Structure 1
Amino acid sequence: MSFMDKAKDFLDKHDKQVDQALEKIGDEVDKRTGHKYSSHIDKGVDEAQKRTGDGDTRP
């Protein structure tokens, strides 16, 4: 099993925790940029959350 396969497997099994971590990271980036890019950060976090986890990780 390759590193990428192991990473995808981890993301699939821990989708909720990964989504929560992405949200926290987005909030911190938003805070550090003085909320100037909130809509862009939110879109990025949403897109990342769509692409992680069981059923939404692409080969």
Structure 2
Amino acid sequence: MSMLDKIKGLMKGHPDQTRQGVEKGGDFVDKKTGGKYGGQVDSAQQKLNDEFGGRRPPTGEQ
């Protein structure tokens, strides 16, 4: 079992914590890039949240 498979297994059972981590990671990337890749970051966050069962809160409720 690869490290990525282990991480996925740990994340599957904790959708709220996973969503928070994805949001923090995206915010970090946005800050470091000055928001230059905001659309791509948002898309990646959505895909990760869909994959692991976390639901992104509607805009303005973060």
Q: Do Structure 1 and Structure 2 share a fold, with TM-score over 0.5?
A: yes
Radius of gyration: which is bigger? Answer: 1
List alignment gaps of at least 5 residues for structure 2.
55-62
CA displacement, residues 27-52 of structure 1 (integer Å, 9 cap, x when unaligned): 01011001111111001111111001
Give the match for residue 45 of structure 2. Answer: 45
Moved over 2 A (4+): 6-10
Q: How many residues align?
A: 52
List alignment gaps of at least 5 residues for structure 1.
55-59
SS of the residue 2:52 aligns to: coil
SS of the residue 2:20 aligns to: helix
Name the structure, 1 or 2, with higher relative contact order (CA <8 Å, separation 6+).
1
Is the Cα contact below 8 Å between 1:11 and 1:53 reproduced in 2?
no
- Provide the C-alpha distance between the structure 1 equivalents of 2:36 and 2:47, rounded to a whole number of angstroms: 19
TM-score, with length taken from structure 1: 0.71
TM-score, with length taken from structure 2: 0.68
What is the percent sequence identity of the aligned residues?
Answer: 35
